[in-house]
Amino acid sequence: MTDAGATRLRSVLYIPGANERALEKAAGLDADALILDLEDSVAPAAKLEARARVCGLVADGFYGGRQVAIRANGIGTEWHEDDVRAASAAGPAGVLIPKVGSAADVLACERLVEAAGATVGTRLWAMLETPVAILRAHEIASASERLAVLVMGTNDLAKELCAELVPGRETLLASLSICLLAARAAGRAVVDGVYNDVRDAEGFEAECRQGRALGFDGKTLIHPGQLEICNRAFSPSAEEVTQAQRVIAAFEEAEQAGRGVATLDGRMIENLHVANARRILALSDPDLTGAAGRPR
């Protein structure tokens, strides 16, 4: 399987699969990844047409080298299996499965993807948005090597928990932390949930910065207007990049001089500091290391 961290996932924008104009405009947006949605944003009567349109665009290479996932309808719905088969055959970077609740769900979807002839480049993405998914997060994250990305579904999770969505998200922090632990333990990427008020730039930026501080690779978005703030929030500042370069240079200089200890500005530098510095540089420019800067 290819590395789940081969590209950045700072900004992951949902695009309604029934909106032809939005699907076309998405090709020119500055999102790290797109999720072409066949589930919540598509009315039942439009689902077959949306599936054909979305899978056709992906199969034709309309989005070029951009990372694209197709969100299927949920397990147990009348559209689920055909969605997964069609999406897999189209060859996207990911097939996103909503409301995954167990390792068995992941493995069942893996069988569908492989039966459709998907290459190793088409990975499974799993949405965690129910209490049972949170409690089984590590089981889900480690179920299959084809699983690459965990996506938080915070709206549905709040509903299922009977919790309020409040500034600072104290009602969801335990669940978010459990999923982050599971993702890192299994070596998967993990993307934060959406922010619903597209007019509240200040609140959105605060939640992006919280997500980055917690350890998320990026955030899912519902509007193109959120892209610039999100990309900036999940990217290192110029000061962080400069400091990371200094840490690496000091460590390498000490190694070349045969010194057992490296210091910078009076502080000892250890391997963990160098690893963090390389992660920061990779977030700034993935070509520097060939990885997305995901903690391993």
Look at residues 233, 257, 278 and tell me which one is the last residue of a structural domain. 233
Element (DSSP H or E) covering residue 125: strand 123-128
Q: Which amino acid is residue 238, in one-letter code?
A: A
Q: To 5 degrees, how large is the angle CA 186–CA 226–CA 91?
A: 50
Side chain identity, residue 256: Q
Residue 293 lies in a domain: no
Is 2 within the bounds of a domain? no
Q: Which residues contact 166 (CB under 8 A, 6 or more apart)?
A: none
Tell me how far CA of residue 216 lies from CA of 19, 118, 145, in angstroms.
Answer: 29, 28, 20
Same domain, 91 and 218: yes
Q: Are residues 137 and 273 in the same domain?
A: no
78 assigned to some structural domain: yes
- If one counts the domains in the chain, the total is 2
pLDDT confidence bin for 287, thresholds 50/70/90: low
Residues 143 and 263 in one domain: no
Residue 286: pLDDT band with limits 50, 70, 90 = low
Is the same domain home to 271 and 172?
no
Q: Is residue 90 located within the same domain as residue 158?
A: yes
| Residues 246 and 118 reside in one and the same domain | no
Interstrand relation of 267-269 and 262-264 (parallel, antiparallel or unpaired): antiparallel
Is the pLDDT assigned to residue 156 strictly greater than 60? yes
pLDDT beyond 50 at 296: no
Q: pLDDT tens digits, residue range 27-73? A: 999 999 999 999 999 999 999 999 999 999 999 999 998 999 999 99
* Structural domain for 30, as ranges: 11-233
Mean pLDDT of 150-168: 97
Q: For the chain, what is the mean pLDDT?
A: 92
Q: Are 221 and 14 in contact (CB under 8 A)?
A: yes
Identify which of 254, 244, 246, 193 has the alpha carbon closest to the alpha carbon of residue 218.
193
Is the pLDDT at 132 greater than 60, yes or no? yes
Burial 90-107 (b: 16+ CB within 10 A, else e): bbbbbbbbbbbbebebbe
Mean pLDDT in residue range 9-27: 97
**What pLDDT shows up at residue 290?**
38
